[in-house]
């Protein structure tokens, strides 16, 4: 509660005194790491419920994946009593928020990656890395099956099996095609570094091909029709980047075809950037219209052939087709086959991602954790536990709950059920006790006594505030460092549990449950303008947010090397423009 209030007050201050925003920028730039710092420090005193088995030999921890969640776990892990194996098809961590910049060469691919071996080598922990893909998880026998993904000169693929005591699944997700025919064959995705590099080459390919002699104007137009499917932050940022690339750099080099290039953004919903504040959405749509980016909302893609993309209007049901040169598909995330297979094994069917509890433990199996885009937290409902809560709080077993009795378990309730806090905030209540008094009318606080039915009815609405966390880098990174912190203090917290009361059992939970803190989100809109939505619904749009974006991203990069490279890439772009060599 304390921390949240701080942010609230912080953001309100900006509402009231807009000039403070400049101060924040200066502070962020000069401090170079404000947000990164606060984030990396955020889990002192959090914990997990799995009982640590104290063996003489080191526990084997297997981490699958080196994305935001896996890398954040590895960076935060400090306890040398584990034998850690990291398995990932990519031997590097990629700073994915800059991927759209890589597609147009604003930033180089190599500037946003850091070898995972480099990240872990200075740690005092046994961490070994294997560049391989996990192809099967066998939770029953505590084994994962892996396959090296190399080809060249190294005869066939290598398979091996790794045993674990704790398994951490942080494999992320894949692009979601919604089974639309032709998407996999004909579209570009924007999930991996390789995707971004391929898009960059294809943009140049399109311009080179459109410049060949002996082509009709219709054909040139088709080749230079770029289509972006999906109006989320990634799709919008890519469309904006591409527009800048074409209009700032390519028009100079391809003067003959510059007027033929066109960018179309297809969004199935009514608006782009619909997870953002309406002001941002409106500004983004207006800016795109001014820029000449063709925005088609309410337009669902039904099929993609090798030369045309077929859409259906959501309202009228009308279908139409658009000839294209390149399509980038960015409509959200889907489940990786190996995760799908694992979910089947443990009886979690018909889900997009692995269900975990609030301590990130996969439901239905032992010693397996899942975090990042491949997992969602199943938040426990207050109403499911309401009788247990009542019984636990009713210390004198009187059958009624006094405010005093209730106040003794308030902190535990707030910690165990974060939706309660959200509900109070939403109702603009300052204290959970207000919930109880509300239902009792004008009675003096101290004398209120509720029976079980009254208690149920008082809390009946709180679960309505539950929602899944977004599939963002921010969530994954916080989960990774949270889990590492639990592993760091596994033994200590076994002896002195730190978590909330177990309402449905005895004693306390060993660790505090995972709690996400939202630091805000950016939506770069091109032309050196960015929309920023910071906590407390503080919205900032324009050039100053662009500089905030620069400084936050520079500070959050994983190493001084990448920081130096990205900043020098940005400077290079300002001075020399973006490169258009097809390599």
Which residue ranges make up the site for a second copy (CB under 8 A)?
Answer: 90-92, 108-110, 113-115, 117-118, 121, 128-132, 148, 150, 152-155, 158, 160, 162, 186, 193-194, 197, 202, 204-206, 208-209, 211-215, 223, 252-254, 256, 306-307, 325-326, 560-561, 564-565, 568, 572, 575-576, 579-583
Taking the C-alpha atoms of 131, 137, 142 and 147 in order, what is their torsion angle to the nearest 10 degrees?
-30
Between residues 210 and 523, which has the closer beta carbon with respect to a second copy?
Answer: 210
Q: Are 478 and 39 in contact (CB under 8 A)?
A: yes
Residue 85 or residue 416: which is nearer to a second copy going by CB?
85
Closest contact distance (angstroms) between CB of 220 and a second copy is 12
CB of 381 to a second copy, least distance (A): 43
- For the bound state, the minimum distance from the C-beta of residue 214 to a second copy, rounded and expressed in Å, comes to 4
In angstroms, give the least distance from the CB of 476 to a second copy. Answer: 19
Nearest approach, Cβ of residue 583 and a second copy (Å): 5
Cα–Cα distance measured from residue 507 to residue 198, given in angstroms and rounded to the nearest whole number: 55
Rounded CA gap, 208 and 325, in Å?
12
Considering the complex, state which of residue 223 and residue 471 has its C-beta at the smaller distance from a second copy.
223
User: For residues 551 and 580, which CB has a smaller minimum distance to a second copy in the complex?
Assistant: 580
d(CA 90, CA 149): 10
Min separation Cβ 99 and a second copy, Å = 12
Cβ proximity to a second copy, 115 vs 527, nearer residue: 115
Which region holds residue 537: left if phi is over 0, alpha if psi is between -120 and 50, else beta? Answer: left
Count of CB atoms situated within 10 Å of the CB of 8: 13
- State which residue, 40 or 197, has the beta carbon closest to a second copy: 197
Distance CA 527, CA 542 (A): 9
We find the least distance from the C-beta atom of residue 41 to a second copy, in angstroms, to be 26
Q: What value does the CA radius of gyration of the chain take, rounded to a whole number of Å?
A: 26
Element at 400 (helix H, strand E): strand 400-402
Q: How far is CA 381 from CA 426, 471, 530, in A?
A: 18, 21, 38
* Nearest-approach distance from CB 267 to a second copy, in angstroms: 22
Q: How far is the CB of 194 from a second copy (least distance, A)?
A: 7
Q: At what angle do helices 233-244 and 278-291 cross, to 10 degrees?
A: 30
Which one, 220 or 416, has the nearer CB to a second copy?
A: 220
What's the min distance (Å) between Cβ of 91 and a second copy? Answer: 5
Helices 68-76, 473-488: crossing angle, 10 deg rounding: 30
Q: Which is nearer to a second copy, 104 or 493 (CB)?
A: 104
Residue 217: CA count within 13 A, CB half-sphere: 4
Strands (E), 236-394: 262-267, 294-297, 299-304, 308-313, 319-323, 326-329, 333-334, 354-356, 368-370, 375-377
Alpha-carbon gap, residue 143 to 109, rounded angstroms: 34
Distance CA 418, CA 512 (A): 11
CA nearest 14: which of 502, 544, 582?
Answer: 544
C-beta of 223 vs 382, nearer to a second copy = 223
Q: Which is nearer to a second copy, 202 or 545 (CB)?
A: 202
């Amino acid at each position: 509660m304390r921390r949240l209030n701080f942010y609230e007050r912080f953001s309100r201050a900006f509402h009231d005194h807009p000039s403070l925003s400049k101060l924040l920028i200066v502070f962020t730039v000069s401090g170079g790491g404000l947000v990164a710092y606060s984030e990396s420090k955020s889990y002192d005193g959090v914990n997990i419920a799995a009982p640590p088995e104290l063996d003489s030999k080191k526990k084997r921890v297997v981490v699958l994946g080196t994305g935001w969640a896996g890398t954040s776990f590895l960076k935060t892990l400090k306890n040398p009593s584990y034998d850690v194996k990291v398995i990932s098809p990519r031997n590097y961590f990629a700073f994915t928020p800059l991927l759209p910049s890589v597609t147009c060469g604003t930033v180089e691919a190599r500037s946003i990656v850091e070898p995972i071996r480099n990240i872990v080598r200075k740690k005092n922990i046994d961490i070994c890395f294997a560049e391989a893909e996990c192809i099967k998880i066998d939770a029953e026998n505590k084994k994962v099956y892996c396959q090296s993904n190399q080809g060249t000169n190294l005869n066939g693929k290598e398979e091996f099996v790794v045993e674990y005591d704790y398994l951490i699944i942080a494999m992320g997700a894949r692009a979601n095609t919604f089974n639309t025919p032709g998407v996999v064959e004909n579209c570009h995705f924007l999930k991996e570094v390789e995707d971004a590099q391929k898009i960059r080459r294809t943009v140049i390919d399109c311009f080179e091909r459109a410049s060949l002699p002996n082509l009709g104007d219709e054909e040139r137009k088709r080749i230079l029709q770029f289509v972006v499917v999906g109006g989320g932050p990634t799709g919008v940022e890519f469309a904006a980047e591409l527009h800048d690339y074409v209009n700032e750099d390519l028009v100079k080099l391809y003067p003959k075809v510059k007027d033929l290039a066109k960018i179309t953004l297809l969004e199935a919903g009514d608006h782009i950037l619909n997870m953002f504040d309406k002001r941002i959405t409106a500004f983004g749509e207006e800016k795109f219209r001014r820029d000449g980016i063709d925005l088609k909302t309410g337009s669902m893609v039904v099929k993609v052939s090798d030369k045309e993309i077929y859409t259906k209007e959501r309202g009228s049901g009308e279908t139409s087709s658009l000839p294209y040169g390149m399509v980038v598909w960015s409509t959200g995330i889907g489940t990786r086959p190996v995760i799908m297979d694992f979910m089947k094994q443990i009886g979690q069917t018909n889900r997009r991602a692995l269900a975990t509890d609030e301590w990130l433990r996969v439901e239905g199996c032992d010693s397996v954790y899942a975090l990042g885009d491949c997992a969602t937290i199943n938040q426990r409902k207050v109403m499911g536990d309401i009788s247990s809560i009542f019984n636990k709080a009713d210390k004198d077993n009187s059958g009624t709950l006094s405010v005093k009795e209730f106040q003794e378990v308030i902190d535990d309730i707030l910690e165990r059920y974060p939706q309660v806090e959200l509900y109070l905030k939403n109702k603009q209540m300052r204290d959970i006790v207000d919930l109880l008094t509300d239902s009792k009318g004008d009675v003096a606080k101290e004398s209120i006594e509720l029976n079980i039915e009254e208690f149920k009815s008082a809390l009946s609405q709180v679960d309505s505030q539950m929602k899944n966390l977004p599939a963002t880098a921010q969530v994954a990174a916080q989960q990774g460092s949270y889990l590492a912190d639990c592993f760091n203090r596994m033994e200590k917290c076994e002896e002195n549990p730190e978590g909330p009361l177990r309402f449905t059992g005895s004693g306390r939970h060993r660790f505090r449950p995972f709690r996400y803190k939202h630091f805000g989100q950016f939506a770069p809109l091109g032309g050196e303008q960015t929309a920023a939505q910071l906590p407390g619904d503080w919205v900032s749009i324009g050039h100053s947010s662009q500089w905030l974006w620069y400084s936050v991203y520079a500070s959050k990069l994983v190493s001084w090397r990448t920081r130096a490279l990205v900043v020098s890439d940005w400077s290079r772009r300002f001075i020399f423009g973006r490169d258009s060599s097809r390599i």
